[in-house]
A = this chain, B = another copy of it.
Amino acid sequence: MKKIAYILLSLLIFSACEEKKSTETIEKSTEKPQKPNENNFGIVLHGGAGTILKENMSDSLEAAYKAKLTEAIQTGYAILEKGGTSLDAIEKTINVLEDSPLFNAGKGAVFTNDGKNELDASIMDGKTLNAGAVAGVTTVKNPINLARAVMEKSEHVMFARDGAEQFAKEQGIEMVDSSYFFTENRMKSLKRAQKREKVELDHDDKTAFYDPYIKDDKFGTVGCAALDKHGNLAAGTSTGGMTNKKWGRVGDAPIIGAGTYANNATCAVSSTGWGEYFIRGVIAYDISAMMEYGNKSLQESARKVIQEKLPKMGGNGGIIAIDHKGNVAMEFNTAGMYRASMNGDGELYIGIYANN
Q: Once the chains are docked, how many angstroms separate the CA of A157 from the CA of B257?
A: 15
Identify the closest chain B residue to A289 (Cβ).
Answer: B289
Which residues in window 232-248 of A have CB below 8 A to B?
Answer: 246-248
Output the nearest chain B residue to A285 by Cβ-Cβ distance: B282
Chain A stretch 111-154: residues in CB contact (< 8 A) with chain B: 124, 129-131, 133, 135-136, 154
Residues of B within 8 A of A290 (CB): 289, 293
Which residues of the partner chain B approach A16 to less than 8 Å between Cβ atoms? 12, 16
Distance between A316 CB and nearest chain B CB, rounded to angstroms: 14
Report the Cα distance A250→B254, complex, angstroms: 11
CA distance A294 to B203 in the complex (A): 42
Kindly identify, within residues 153 to 196 of chain A, every residue whose CB is under 8 Å from any CB belonging to chain B.
154-164, 166-167
Beyond A158-B279, A250-B135, A313-B129, whether A9 also contacts B13 by CB under 8 A is: no
A257/B276 in contact, CB under 8 A: no
Contact present for A279 and B250 (CB under 8 Å): no
User: Which residues from B are CB-within-8-Å of A294?
Assistant: 293-294
Number of copies: 2
- Bound complex: CA of A1 vs CA of B275, how far in Å? 71
Q: Which of chain B's residues has its CB closest to A283's CB?
A: B257
Please, which residues of chain B bring their CB within 8 A of the CB of A249? 156, 158-160, 163
CB within 8 Å of B: which A1-25 residues: 1-2, 5-6, 8-9, 12-13, 16
B1 and A157 within 8 A (CB) = no
For the complex, is A198 an interface residue (Cβ under 8 Å from B)?
A: no
Residues of B within 8 A of A166 (CB): 246-248
Return chain B residues, CB-CB under 8 Å to A155: 206-207, 276
Shortest A151–chain B CB gap in Å is 10
Instruction: Compute how far the CA of A258 lies from the CA of B161 in the bound complex, rounded to whole angstroms.
Output: 21
Chain B residues, CB < 8 A from A258: 256-257
Residues of B within 8 A of A289 (CB): 285-286, 289-290, 293
A276 CB contacts on chain B under 8 angstroms: 155-157
Q: Which residues of A contact B (CB under 8 A)?
A: 1-2, 5-6, 8-9, 12-13, 16, 124, 129-131, 133, 135-136, 154-164, 166-167, 206-207, 246-251, 255-258, 261, 275-276, 279-282, 285-286, 289-290, 292-294, 313
6 contacts between A and B (CB under 8 A): A2-B2, A155-B206, A159-B249, A164-B248, A166-B248, A261-B282
